[in-house]
Amino acid sequence: MRRRKASVTLFEEIRREHEFGLGTIQGVARKFGVHRRLVREAIGQAVPSVRVPPARERPRLGPVVEFIDTILRADQVAPRKQRHTAHRIYTRICQERNECFVAESTVRDYVRQRRGELGLLAHETCVPQSYEWGGEGQVDWYEADAFLGGECVTLQVFSLRSMASGASFHWAYYRATQQAFLDGHQRAFHYFGGVFHRIRYDNLKVVVKRILQGHQREETERFVAFRSHWRYQSEFCNPAQGHEKGGIENEVGRFRREHWVPLPEAADLAALNALLLAGCRIDEGRTVTGRSRSVGEALLLEQRDLLLLATEDFDLAETSFPKTNGLGCVKVRTNLYSVPAVVGTTVEVKLWPSLVAIWRDNRQIASHERCYERNQEVLDLEHYLDTLERKPGALAGSTPLEQWRKAGRWPVIYDAFWEKLNARLGRPQGTKEMIGLLQLGREHGWDRLRAAVDKAWTLGCHDRAAVQHLLETPELARPLAPVIDIGTLRAFERPLPTMDVYDQLLVAGGVR
């Protein structure tokens, strides 16, 4: 007979059966398949007793108990991230005490018990905090993966949370550099509409040079200048005490679960950050547990108490003045970036976390997405068009063309159009025509050129002049002159002459 586990429901059935049914302990026990002791217990009380399982002896654990205790006592003074796990202790037993045969589960149970006794499992008791409007923001970095252009990339995400309203700002970067760190602050200040009076940090290397006594820190000069520009105060947590800024720690986990799962997909980093920003706005509609206002409503109230934004942003650009080399590039850090300038020209380069801008004579002549790899070439085909007009044979195998293909800037229709030009004019002249076609994109815009090439292909025209006509036709169109009411001048209107009577003269003259 199948035995049943004691429960409140079973006790009720037993009590009812004993009182209104069979009436005997033996009969009830036989009917429900339980022991007579359980029937007597159910008759005496409606709730089953809590049974504590007897402690099991562990004869194989005894020889290694002192070995495990020695390891755990040493862990009390070891760095937190370099302490033994239960699995590591079991591995050491197998290696150093191989005469003792003990199961890993037995070791795990004992390690858990001893850690509790030694205080290694104890958690800090945190004191709830209240925050004034605009009083404190908390900052942190975290890692997250996303698909950019179909490739999975690990990104560093800056986050800043308002402790009073619960609003937060998140912005992704390729690297967690000091420049990106400060750029994230400025973007967050504009998002919140002001600056917090105090911002709390971990001891980040981009901010802290050296940890001094107590809460004093030797900070980097650039961070001090940035903080002075925005007029806020900074505070730092004790080393390895992330719970001291638990607001942003919890926010990171919440935002990651809400907006990074599943892995987001975007064309590039700018498009991904637009998604993150939209996620921040959506979160303004939520209500933090225990509060009556939504995050967005609280943020509107908080903005009145924030420090006013500075009249202009802190200049984060790193400036250099390199010369163009024989490849038509300038070297920034270790990478080469193309520039439309003759060899030997000195240009001004401004480096931002996500952008490299190149200036000459107070005019920006080129820009590239910043590359964080080393010894790479970042090339734009547009910068080489003038040179390719003199050297058309270099186009087919050029690195700038290959990079345009990978970036999706060279549509398949361009190759088909190029083949038609080569078939009709020959390869040298056809390539020249194709380069001239690309020059139209620099003048009229690349989107318009693509649309004009598509339209010319649809019409069956495979000629640069046809594409140029399609590009310039909207510009040549002129609006019709408006109709003017001549009013009283209509009285002088005369009918137009008819030429029918002159046909009689032609007939009379013998002309047909």
pLDDT at residue 24, rounded to an integer: 85
Q: Tell me if 42 sits within 8 A of 62, measured CB to CB.
A: no
Tokens of 99: 């005469």
Provide the pLDDT for residue 510.
55
User: Pairing relation of β-strands 217-219 and 208-211?
Assistant: antiparallel
Which SS3 state, helix, strand or coil, does residue 53 take? coil
- pLDDT digit string (tens) for 98-150? 887 888 888 888 888 888 777 766 566 667 777 899 999 999 999 999 999 88
Amino acid, single-letter form, for residue 502: Y
- Beta-bridge mates of residue 260: none
Backbone angles phi, psi at 420, to 5 degrees: -65, -40
Q: Which of these, 154, 159, 209, 211, lies nearest to 181 by C-alpha position?
A: 159
Number of H helices, E strands in the chain: 18, 15
pLDDT of residue 501: 75
What confidence score (pLDDT) does residue 2 get?
46
Query: Rounded to an integer, what distance in angstroms lies between the CA atom of residue 473 and that of residue 121?
Result: 77
Cα distances (Å, whole numbers) of residue 458 to 311, 417, 447, 471:
53, 11, 17, 15
Dihedral pair phi/psi, residue 186, rounded to 5°: -65, -40
| pLDDT score at 481 | 73
Which of 1.10.3720.10, 3.30.420.10, 3.40.50.150, 3.30.460.80 would CATH assign to domain 136-305?
Answer: 3.30.420.10
Domain boundaries, the chain: 8-44, 62-118, 136-305, 318-378, 390-476
Q: Chunk the chain into consecutive blocks of 10 residues (it has 512) and report each block's average pLDDT, rounded to whole numbers.
A: 66 86 84 88 84 72 86 81 84 85 87 80 68 92 92 94 94 92 95 94 74 62 89 80 75 91 92 96 92 93 94 90 94 94 93 91 92 92 93 93 92 94 92 94 92 91 90 72 76 77 68 50
The pTM for the full model equals: 0.66
